[in-house]
Homo-oligomer: A and B are copies of this chain.
Amino acid sequence: MKLGTLAGDGRDGRLVVVSRDLAWCADARHIAPTLQAALDDWDRVAPLLESLSVDLAHEAIPMMRFHERQALSPLPRAYQWADGSAYVNHVELVRRARGAELPESFWTDPLMYQGASDGFLAPRAAIPLADEAWGCDLEAEVAVVTGDVPAGASRDEALGAIRLVGLVNDVSLRNLIPAELAKGFGFVQSKPASALSPVLVTPDELGDWWQDGKLHRTLKVDLNGAPLGRADAGEDMTFDFGTLVAHLAKTRDVAAGSVVGSGTVSNRDADGGPGRPVQDGGLGYSCLAEQRMIETIRSGAPVTPFLKKGDTVRIWMDDDHGHPIFGTIEQTVG
């Protein structure tokens, strides 16, 4: 099933079940007022929501049009946002662009940072940017939402605790990152609010695309209407989501409603080297930093600028019929 959130009485909006084609939705407040409330009581609530989803598919209940532009973030705020760097190819390229080496351990020990979860941008909300000099970048990622995961959970246990899957734009302020990385304390100012996709979906909804904690599907990213990225999220993912969630839970309980990100999706080129732009027949990039790095390798300096006011980013993933599975994140820098 697919779940979304529309504006409601409070800060957490109201829960709706959304049809597979994202055209219709049904109010789910009689089952759980908000998505967080559903996640808090998932074992009891999920079968009721599934039943509502079936009724919606059969047009057997009152339904409303679902407009992505009216959707809030499925979780307008969450108790945790932890973002991994599962595509180590991306980490290596970004480090190389900074002139920093990649420690060998990064291939075996996941990088992960604790991010801000007190407010997720709506999927069509502007990206607030007070200063273009901060070097604003998108990062297109896959994300999962967990149930309760006890401390010390195994990779398999963690994988079994994944309740929902979606996409995220992890907005990054590149020019603020080096100074924060040097302090070692992670990202506070360089990672402002992120945006989740209009809907989150249960793993069973994804069928064979969801295998072994990876989402085997092309993540599509456009910048100002032109293709920027077409990477396969199931390829070159060094750490699957079970491994990422277990990493987070190594020393502490992880509570229901925690959002865990994959890090920027990134594919190597067919020859094993860094990917080429979509315009050159490659799979492109899920963030501008990677493109700028390739340009630096080729010509000694980056050509592509970071995001400017008025730039528009689109992030989505199509099903076999060309319909976005999770809806579309579409944000203009404002």
- Neighbouring B residues of A134 by C-beta, 8 Å: 251
CB of A116 within 8 A of chain B? yes
State which of B112, B119, B185, B257 has its C-beta within 8 Å of the C-beta of A113.
B185
B interface footprint on A185-204 (CB within 8 Å = 1, 0 otherwise): 11111101100000000000
- Neighbouring B residues of A119 by C-beta, 8 Å: 79, 252-253, 255
A193 touches B252 (CB 8 A): yes
**Residue of A77, A130, A185, A187 with highest tally of chain B CB at under 10 A:** A185
CB of A28 within 8 A of chain B? no
Report A167 CB to chain B, min CB distance, Å.
Answer: 20
A176 touches B114 (CB 8 A): no
A185 touches B116 (CB 8 A): no
Given known contacts A130-B152, A134-B251, A255-B77, is B116 in contact with A116 (CB within 8 Å)?
no
CB of A321 within 8 A of chain B? no
- Neighbouring B residues of A80 by C-beta, 8 Å: 116-118
- Neighbouring B residues of A111 by C-beta, 8 Å: 183, 185
CB of A254 within 8 A of chain B? yes
B186 touches A252 (CB 8 A): no
Report A133 CB to chain B, min CB distance, Å.
Answer: 12
**Residue of A85, A113, A181 with highest tally of chain B CB at under 10 A:** A113
Binding site for B on A (CB under 8 A): 10-11, 40, 77-80, 82, 85, 103, 106, 109, 111-119, 128, 130, 134, 151-152, 173, 176, 179, 181-190, 192-193, 247-248, 250-255, 257-258
| A/B interface sample: 14 pairs, CB < 8 A | A11-B255, A77-B79, A103-B183, A111-B185, A112-B185, A113-B185, A113-B186, A114-B115, A117-B117, A151-B192, A182-B184, A184-B186, A190-B251, A192-B252
